[in-house]
Amino acid sequence: MKVTYYGQSSFILEMNGKSLVFDPFISPNPKAASIDVNSLKADYVLLSHGHADHVADAETIAKNNGAKVISNYEIVSWYGEKEVTGHPLNHGGKWKFDFGTVKYVNAIHSSVLPDGTYGGNPGGFVIWDEGKCFYFAGDTALTWDMKLIPMTCPKLDFAILPIGDNFTMGYEDAAIAAEFIDCDKIVACHYDTFGYIEINHDAAKKAFEAKGKELILLDIGQSIDL
Ligand code: NI
Ligand code: MN
């Protein structure tokens, strides 16, 4: 599966011929100035919660591509008013899409949309098909509920976890999260975008190495195959 990083928590994952955009915050991010939002292809836009650093470019990308938003009920309803179609989920629920199954799972965080509308409870996504399974955690603290993921979903091949601290778990807790979810390959997000979440890359990698885990820090615009 091709995974491309666009800064903060923004990714595109290509799965079974479909392009899945996650939490697009690109045009307001000076570190992602090299990325043209209007060039991005999307079949679906998955939003973990309503904060601007996760949804800033969602409407543009969805409308450019006729893509559907996948998120919680409140966020999908808000985009519905903007004439963006979507599929609403809520915690613990899953749905089989044409690219794979998506389960909306717990996150400990907050969620409000850019205009102040209630954004429902924040979440993460576990997504799988017959061959691959991954977890996109969204913004979250380390939570005991992460232990439910290996109990209720296929074995994870990789996970995308926030590591920047202050607004989410830091890398020390994220390394524990990797143990909770029984996953050895972690792609980092939600770090270095602004002052509160700047991290020491070497220290972060070492925290994961100490637990026998790999932490992958991608450059903005960089792709890898996972
Ligand atoms: Ni947030
Ligand atoms: Mn955030």
Q: What is the pLDDT of residues 161-175, one digit of tens each?
A: 999 999 999 999 999
What residues have their beta carbon closer than 5 A to ion ligand 2?
51, 53, 139
**Which class for 130: exposed (0-12), middle (13-18), buried (19 or more C-beta within 10 A)?**
exposed
Q: Are strands 101-106 and 133-136 parallel, antiparallel or unpaired?
A: unpaired
What separation in angstroms does the CA of 183 have from each of 54, 161, 186, 208, 214?
24, 11, 7, 11, 9
CA–CA separation, 42 and 61 (whole Å): 7
- Positions in the chain whose pLDDT score sits under 50: none
pLDDT score at 202: 98
Q: What is the pLDDT of residue 47?
A: 98
Q: Give the Å distance between the CA of 89 and the centre of ligand 2.
A: 20
- Model pTM? 0.98
The rounded Å distance from CA 180 to ligand 2 centre is 22
Starting from the CA of residue 8, give the closest ligand.
2
**C-alpha of residue 175 to centroid of ligand 2, in Å:** 19
Q: Which of 75, 59, 67 is nearest to 26 (CA)?
A: 59
In angstroms, the CA 224 to CA 179 distance is 23
As given in the structure block, the two tokens for residue 124 are 């993460």
Domains of the chain by range and CATH?
2-225 (3.60.15.10)
| Cα–Cα distance, 38 to 152 (Å, whole number) | 37
pLDDT for 200 equals 98
Enumerate residues 6+ apart whose C-beta is below 8 A from 36: none
pLDDT at 161: 99
Distance 195 CA to ligand 2 centre (A): 13
Q: What is the Å distance from ligand 1's center to 103 Cα?
A: 19
C-alpha dihedral (124, 171, 25, 117), degrees to nearest 10: 50
DSSP-assigned letter for residue 147: G
Cα 130 to ligand 2 centre (Å): 31
